[in-house]
Structure 1
């Protein structure tokens, strides 16, 4: 007898991660049942019923919504309260001085503290350093909402540029007989990669009344105002940035067919059809992409794509009828594809002709994020009276550090 389950909908936002995960798994079971019916109709009638096809898409969208709720709950759970860190008397003194600067523009205490510490964060340099606990909080939240930052290697620098030598070819070696001559072997080939840090800024405004309210956590307000906009800008730049006044994303480099790959380029595998997976055995492209990586990188591989692309891949099955996409094993974990984790990055392009909509690689080895130490705040009570502006900046850079550790899927015939 045919089942008549309706597409699951979120009627109320679940309060716990467990409840949200249960809703997600219920949606996945409904998706499998309806998609199996769609495939059966195609096999019997060479086409799927419109109602069944629409239902699959509705459930697919519902699964995306359930996953979004899980992500939000996980992000909320990962946010510790500001000001709860340790640091003793010096940290408390810095926090109090910074609060006085933010609320009243009183910089005398900060001058004394940062002068005593020989800090470069003076007013002449463009503002004061955010207290350690606030700076750490912003960085932790960025790790949660910017997926590429969470996957990549992150380096802290004190200068404006990080220069990194990279061995593109190892030293040569060879076998010789016991008494044979030992000719000189080839030297390692080194390339110098440069990662400049670019300025990212935000300028929230507050009224004097808000700053006068002693109950308001000014530092917490700064973090909540800034972390999301910084994360959104970073996430876009790490994926598709062109390197001009922003980090260079892994899609910003020249992409070449993997068979013609050379250092300095990103290799891609074509799907065999323009703007789509090929009709016959569409999952072959995914297998080819996985095995285009060397074993050392493949074992740390992660798929990166947006929700729409993931929605297409959820329908793929292997020869035994098993779905290639697997839901998370538990709340807070990632879904998997071919046994590798999937990270959703909404900055990845939708599937279209010649688009690079899927990336797979060892991003820890392949991509480098460079943070210049410190988030700075400059208080401006004059430019937008009666508002007080807080010109907040950080310097961040990024780029590919190992060009053989990341591969792309190109939705094209070749």
Structure 2
């Protein structure tokens, strides 16, 4: 642990036990509440708070973020499944052939998994490992809907409005009703790649699990690129992010746009009753979506909301109840995504919705590895690719908060 001059822990040691990390996080939040209560009391009494108290509160916010990051890393390590699986003799033979290909470039005729372009499809155990690790690390993938597809484009028909109905008397005429309105959403699977490098000596080491090594190397790179695209991707050779969808004020919402509420203040929450706009955002979402909804924002936005209380003096932000849980805001889980924008004038830094229904990620089956021992000698490069797409699945399932006048 590192300590500030006033004894605050700034980060947790990488090797700390997860229970200890969770206890440190809980203690830091209690100190945060005491400090913020003192700050609010001074503001109410004198109209402003002492600058030293404000500085301490910001340091405590940083401490909480550091503890949360350490908890996330520890939980990811604990949740990582073993790479080995029970796939029978054929799977074992294929895994051995894949290992030989990665280490020495040997190719062996197999009935499964040979790419026409000279690459090798990653064995099922390794492909599953990469996907599971990315689900844990990539916050949007963890809450969005996910489909496995075999083609290049996934198309999904949507009923925008149902068939018209009406009440009639026993002998009244039955006029023809209007039919339902359908829309089609399309999700092309675009290519995502990483190219880790290794020396021949490293690969020839008999103790190296090449499947685990590739999964570890590409996982972080894939997860970071995916999350960026799922939030703000422009749809050009990458998924379409939910923040790039057309937007409309909630009162003018129509299918094809994401609805938003405005705070009424440029780059800030309202000066009084700041939490009211968050309550309004929650209830802008229909009940069918609200029961499975999550907040999505970055850590700086989260730090600003940690200071808010309800009318009874209870903090709206609450830490996770367990080490592997999520923090909550107003009773709904909070997902921290660093690619969300910061609070600024006319920005959309906070999203709330049922992302399982609102955003769809499309994974094309198969992760490919192409071994290249020539381009960067003495290193061996591994051109690893997967195809993934994404986009809005239900425009009514996600709402945004705009930090602006209207």
Does residue 201 of structure 2 align to residue 213 of structure 1?
no
Structure 2 match to 1:88: 88
Distance across 2 between alignment mates of 1:16 and 1:8? 16
Give the CA deviation at 1:333. 0.7
- Relative distance call for 1:14 and 1:43 in structure 2 (3 A) is farther
Does residue 122 of structure 2 align to residue 149 of structure 1?
no
Q: Deviations over 1:74-111 (max 9, x none)?
A: 1111112222x111111111100101111111112xxx
Q: Answer with 180-189 or 285-294: which moved more.
A: 180-189
1:115-126 aligned at under 5 Å gives the runs 116-117=111-112, 119=113, 121-122=114-115, 124-126=116-118
Distance across 1 between alignment mates of 2:377 and 2:6? 58
Distance across 1 between alignment mates of 2:179 and 2:90? 51
Does residue 237 of structure 2 align to residue 236 of structure 1?
no
Distance across 1 between alignment mates of 2:327 and 2:225? 25
Distance across 1 between alignment mates of 2:12 and 2:241? 38
TM-score, length-scaled by structure 1: 0.95
Does residue 351 of structure 2 align to residue 350 of structure 1?
no
Q: Deviations over 1:200-223 (max 9, x none)?
A: 011111111112211111111111
Distance across 1 between alignment mates of 2:121 and 2:12? 44
> Could you list the runs of 5+ residues in structure 1 that have no partner in the other structure?
none
Structure 1 match to 2:178: 186
Structure 1 match to 2:68: 67
Structure 1 match to 2:355: 363
SS of 1:277's equivalent? coil
- Relative distance call for 1:262 and 1:11 in structure 2 (3 A) is closer
Of 309, 316, 319, the match for 2:311: 319
CA contact (8 A) 2:11 2:70 kept: no
- Relative distance call for 1:390 and 1:199 in structure 2 (3 A) is same
Give the CA deviation at 1:126. 4.8
- Relative distance call for 1:5 and 1:385 in structure 2 (3 A) is closer
Distance across 2 between alignment mates of 1:67 and 1:34? 19
CA contact (8 A) 1:335 1:341 kept: yes
Q: Deviations over 1:370-392 (max 9, x none)?
A: 00000000111122222211111
The runs of 4+ residues in structure 1 deviating greater than 6 Å are: none
Distance across 1 between alignment mates of 2:199 and 2:208? 12
Distance across 2 between alignment mates of 1:287 and 1:269? 11
Structure 2 match to 1:31: 32
CA contact (8 A) 2:268 2:403 kept: yes
CA contact (8 A) 2:12 2:67 kept: no
- Relative distance call for 1:43 and 1:253 in structure 2 (3 A) is same
Q: Deviations over 1:152-200 (max 9, x none)?
A: 1100111100010000001121111112222222211000111001100
1:41-120 aligned at under 5 Å gives the runs 41-83=42-84, 85-108=85-108, 112-113=109-110, 116-117=111-112, 119=113
- Relative distance call for 1:11 and 1:288 in structure 2 (3 A) is closer
CA contact (8 A) 2:12 2:66 kept: no
Distance across 1 between alignment mates of 2:12 and 2:163? 62
Q: Please, what is the CA RMSD of the aligned residues?
A: 1.4
Give the CA deviation at 1:320. 1.2
Give the CA deviation at 1:10. 3.6
- Relative distance call for 1:296 and 1:97 in structure 2 (3 A) is same
Structure 2 match to 1:200: 192
Distance across 1 between alignment mates of 2:118 and 2:268? 50
- Relative distance call for 1:351 and 1:258 in structure 2 (3 A) is same
